[in-house]
Amino acid sequence: MSFYCNNSPLTVPITTTTRSVSHRASFYASISINERFERLGSGQEMDLFGTSVSRTSVKSQMSFVRKVYLITLLQLLFVATMMSVFIHFLPLWKEQKYLWWVVLFPATIISIVTLWQLWTQYYQISRLVRIILLCIYSFFMAFILSDLIAVIFREYGQLVITMTCFGTVSIVLFTLQKKYRFRGPMPISIGLRDVYQLNPVQILGPVAISSLISTYFVLELYYAMGFMTVDDYILAYISFHIDLAYPINCLHHVCEISENVDDFTEYFNPDPHGNHG
Mean pLDDT of the chain: 71
Report the C-alpha gap between 236 and 67 in whole angstroms.
10
Burial class (CB in 10 A: 0-12, 13-18, 19+), 121: middle
- Taking every pair of Cα atoms in the chain, the longest distance, rounded to a whole number of angstroms, is 105
Where does the pLDDT of residue 5 fall: very low under 50, low under 70, confident under 90, or very high at 90 and above? low
**What local confidence, expressed as pLDDT, does residue 26 receive?**
41
Taking the mean position of all CA atoms in its chain, how far away is CA 183?
A: 16
Least Cα distance to 78 among 156, 151, 135 occurs for 135
Residue 254 has pLDDT above 70, yes or no: no
Kindly report, residue by residue over 72-120, the tens digit of the pLDDT: 999 999 998 888 888 777 665 556 666 667 788 899 999 999 999 998 8
Q: Cα dist. 102→105, 147, 275 in Å?
A: 6, 11, 57
Distance of alpha carbon 169 from alpha carbon 166, whole angstroms = 5
